Amino acid sequence: MKKKKLLLVSPFPNDDDLYPHVKHLINELSGNYEIDYFYGHERGIWTEQLNSKLKNGDYKPLINIIKDFISLYIKSIQDSYDIILAIDNFLYVISSWFFLEKTILWSHDFVGYDEVKNKHLIQSIISNLTRKRLSKNQKLIIQDTERLHVFLRSINYEGIPEDIFFLPVSLPPVKLPEKISIESQLPVLMQSGTIASWRYSNELIKCYQKSYKKFNLFIQGFVSEEIERLLKKLEISPLINSSRVSPDQLSEIIKLCDIGFIGYAIGDVNHYYISSASGQLVEFIRCGKPVIVRSKTNLQHYVEENKIGVAIKNIDELVPAIYKIQTNYQEYSSNCTKIFQKSFNIKTYIEKLLLFLEGK
């Protein structure tokens, strides 16, 4: 039987930097759909960056948006798609202009009601158009109920859409040894993903300078310019891997550590309700790695409540948190894999997701 066609409209290039949960969802759905991937250059969240570039005479972002409009219009004429899955508000609005009720919003991030730019003209237009289209289409994929309510409030949506599918950031399981333990005398602490001050990477690296005899630090991911400057000044350098790692191989890197470090210095509602939307968390716990969380988010409560790690209020509590996990590592690790299987294993969602996409 011929497969139905699904168009995924995404603000992320389909390369080795593609978010693992997006990549793996494509893999899972490809058994049932012929999937076409469309990269839209503008996400519609950091519009202040677009404004800044335009003021400086850089019209490339605007040209890219126009090209995306044209390309999507051509696709709507030339190709017959059964389902359009659009990531985040801006691309949802554009896609729904051409594909109408076939378009489903897959919400990852949004400009929250508590952000100043939520009231800016461009964001207001995006929110209004998202609200109007969602009122007609009535289908939404989002991570959990908490994010649902703050998202709807952020676009001034009254009521609740009729058809909602809750899909946390999810990944497939990986093969693990029967028993996970700390092999070395010094535990290996890892931060993965974007390495920047808004992830408390600067505090983590400075703490390591004072405490390098108590743990090893492994940094994996994209290192921002500010952190690169900091690293050049160090006497004791952590192990760094800033090379691209494909989504299929990232778990092999994560397995090299004993404990994960997750930091969020941003506390707006989009970032606060992160417990079902943190790719870093899922990467660590599916490998049985407990986490230490320093953030302004609900992840603080989540890791403590589920006993998958330790929440700290400041970086001075890092070393005691490492010791706390070390002394009861097997229990923490076991809880990690249990929570992953219960809440973040993508394979447990696919059957119901397929029914949702088909409107059943």
Q: What are phi and psi of 199, to 5 degrees?
A: -105, 15
For residues 71 and 128, membership in a common domain is answered with yes
pLDDT for position 203 = 96
* Predicted local confidence at residue 359, as pLDDT: 86
Q: Domain check: are 275 and 148 in the same one?
A: no
**Helices 318-327, 201-211: inter-axial angle, 10-degree rounding:** 70
- The tokens describing 283, both together, are 């990467």
Question: What pLDDT, on a 0 to 100 scale, did the predictor assign at position 244?
Answer: 82
Q: What is the pLDDT of residue 43?
A: 83
150 and 209 in a single domain? The answer is: no
Within a domain: 102: yes
| Same domain, residue pair 208 and 134 | no
pLDDT greater than 80 at residue 316? yes
Considering the domain architecture, whether residues 337 and 350 belong to the same structural domain is answered as no
Retrieve residue 20's tokens.
């693992």
| 25 domain-assigned | yes
- In this structure, of 121-130, 183-192, 206-215, 324-333, the range with the lowest mean pLDDT score is 183-192
Query: Of the given ranges (7-11, 231-235, 268-272, 311-315), which has the lowest mean pLDDT?
Result: 231-235
165 SS3 class: strand
Examine the domain organization and report whether 107 and 230 are in the same domain. no
pLDDT tops 90 at residue 215: yes
What confidence tens digit (pLDDT) does each residue in 115-164 have? 998 988 889 999 999 999 999 999 999 999 999 999 999 999 999 999 99
The answer to whether residue 260 sits within a structural domain is yes
pTM, to two decimals: 0.93
In this prediction, residues 331-353 reach a mean pLDDT of: 97
Residue in 247, 243, 109, 244 with CA at minimum distance from that of residue 172:
247
Distance of CA 9 to the CA centre of its chain: 16
Same domain, 16 and 119: yes
What pLDDT does residue 213 have?
94
351 & 333 share domain: no
Question: Which CATH number characterizes residue 207's domain?
Answer: 3.40.50.2000
User: What number of residues does the chain have?
Assistant: 360
Q: How far apart are the first and last CA of the chain?
A: 19
Half-sphere exposure of 104 (CA within 13 A, CB side): 23
> Is 1's pLDDT higher than 80?
no
Q: What confidence score (pLDDT) does residue 57 get?
A: 84
Give the number of other Cβ atoms within 10 Å of residue 336's Cβ: 26
**12-26 pLDDT tens trace:** 988 877 889 999 999
Residue 182: inside a domain = no
Q: Match 């972002």 to its residue by tokens.
A: 61
The predicted-structure confidence for 70-85, as pLDDT tens digits, reads as follows 999 999 998 899 999 9
Distance CA 238, CA 69 (A): 45
For residues 111 and 131, state if they share a domain: yes
Same domain, 98 and 57: yes
**Mean pLDDT to the nearest integer, 321-339:** 96
Residues 339 and 349 in one domain: no
The residue with greater pLDDT, 177 or 343, is 343
Q: Residue 184 — very low, low, confident or very high, per pLDDT cuts 50/70/90?
A: low
Please give the pLDDT value at position 183.
60
Q: Is residue 293 located within the same domain as residue 161?
A: no
Q: What is the pLDDT of residue 48?
A: 67
Are 34 and 4 a contacting pair, CB within 8 Å?
Answer: yes
Question: Has residue 270 been placed in a domain?
Answer: yes
**DSSP at 68:** H
What local confidence, expressed as pLDDT, does residue 208 receive? 96
What is the pLDDT, as a whole number, of residue 17? Answer: 74
Does the residue 183 lie in any domain? no
Percentage, residues of the chain above pLDDT 90? 80
Between residues 125 and 53, the one the model is more confident about = 125
Number of domains in the chain: 2
DSSP 266-294: --SHHHHS-TTT-HHHHHHHHTT--EEEE
Domain that holds residue 265: 188-344
Average pLDDT of the residues of the chain: 93
Query: Is there a domain that residue 107 lies in?
Result: yes
Q: Tell me the pLDDT tens digit for each residue of 219-278.
A: 999 999 999 999 999 889 899 998 888 888 889 999 999 999 999 998 899 999 999 999
Residue 177 lies in a domain: no
